[in-house]
Amino acid sequence: MEVYRINITDAAKQDIRDIGKYITDEFQEPIVAEKTTDAVLDAIFTLEQMPDRITFVKDKRLAGQGIRPLYVKNYTVFFRIETSPNVVDVVRVLYSHRDWATIL
């Protein structure tokens, strides 16, 4: 089984930090914030194996760019797969109910 290297873009790293900060600041729940960001990171690293198990997004424009969604709690991890070399690029991590098609 091939193993893919995970590359988290600067934008996605900032998204994860922002998620933690939002939960901590708005809900005064630092433990929930840490659990949520840990869950997002854990889910991202499951993409090291068989990332193509996840289909493309339904938006045709983004699907044409190879964007795939990984759902984690209330968030969506958007990524694409590069096969030479085997790399998963995590592009963004956004609140699932946002209009992500206009953001990406």
Return the CATH number at 58: 3.30.2310.20
Range of the domain at 20: 5-103
CA separation for the pair 69, 57 (Å, rounded)? 6
Number of domains observed in the structure of the chain = 1
CA separation for the pair 2, 49 (Å, rounded)? 7
Reported pTM: 0.95
Sign of CA dihedral 6, 82, 17, 77: negative
Q: What is the pLDDT of residues 38-97, one digit of tens each?
A: 999 999 999 999 999 999 999 999 999 999 999 999 999 999 999 889 999 999 999 999
